Structure 1
Amino acid sequence: MANKIKKGDTVVVLSGKDKGKSGEVLRLDPREQRAVVQGVNVVKRHQRQSMQSQGGIEEKEASIHVSNIAVSDPKDGKPTRVGFRTLDDGRKVRVARRSGETIDR
């Protein structure tokens, strides 16, 4: 993973039941190499009633392996690989390999 995908990035799903969908990265687990993406890999979970929640069947996003997602290109929204470039002022930025644009959040 090596800091190529970060929280808040817009990513595209490359394989699986949600192939082609895109969404924002909500959470990352670097140890397990998994990410939770908004609107992708939605599963139903039975929730017990508590003081905070009413309970019942809730839909929520499950994690997806980072090998199955790619950062979307800022120019056209298609999946791209990520590279790094050092700017003149010494900052290290992420760059889309497809278009050469810097990836901002």
Structure 2
Amino acid sequence: MKKYKIKAKKGNEVKIISGKYKGKIGIIKEILYEKNKVIIDKINIQTKHIKVKQSEEKGIIKQVEGPIHYSNIKTIKTDK
């Protein structure tokens, strides 16, 4: 996969321009350069099941933000 230069930075406000979350606005939490994706705060929430590692512990169900391809976002406002 070819790596592209992502013009948005961590903390920038972005708008989703295509996909399931089209029209929503959020702040970039993390950038995954090797996959050309970004993680946006409170957008694309996914459920993750974590297995038990020891017999006394319980399994956990966590809600985490999933990545969105950088081509589906548009920078609205930069944070300095």
TM range (shorter): 0.7 to 0.9
For the pair 1:69 / 2:73, whether they are aligned, the reply is: yes
1:104 aligned residue: 79
Between structure 1 and structure 2, the one with the greater Rg is 1
Q: Does 1:19 find its partner at 2:22?
A: yes
Unaligned regions of 5+ residues in structure 1, if any?
75-102
Query: What residue number does 1:92 align with?
Result: none
Give the C-alpha shift of residue 24 in structure 1: 0.9
**Which structure is higher in helix share?**
2
Structure 1 counterpart of 2:48, one-letter code: R
Structure 2 distance, partners of 1:31, 1:6, is 15
> In 1, distance between residues paired with 2:28 and 2:53?
28
- Larger RCO: 1 or 2 (CA < 8 Å, sep 6+): 2
How far residue 48 of structure 1 moved from its aligned partner, in angstroms, is 2.7
Judged with a 3 Å threshold, the aligned counterparts in structure 2 of structure 1 residues 31 and 57 are, in CA distance, closer, same or farther, namely same
Alpha-carbon spacing, 1:71–1:54, altered in 2? closer, same or farther (3 Å): farther
Aligned with residue 43 of structure 2, among 35, 40, 52: 40
What corresponds to 2:60 in structure 1? Answer: 56
Residues 1:54 and 1:37: Cα distance change in structure 2 (over 3 Å): farther
Structure 2 residue runs of 5 or longer lacking an equivalent are none
> Which residue pairs with 2:7 in the alignment?
4
Identity percentage of aligned residues: 31
Q: Deviations over 1:51-83 (max 9, x none)?
A: 9x96421111000000001111x4xxxxxxxxx
Alignment TM-score, normalising by the size of structure 2: 0.78
Q: TM-score scaled to structure 1, two decimals?
A: 0.61
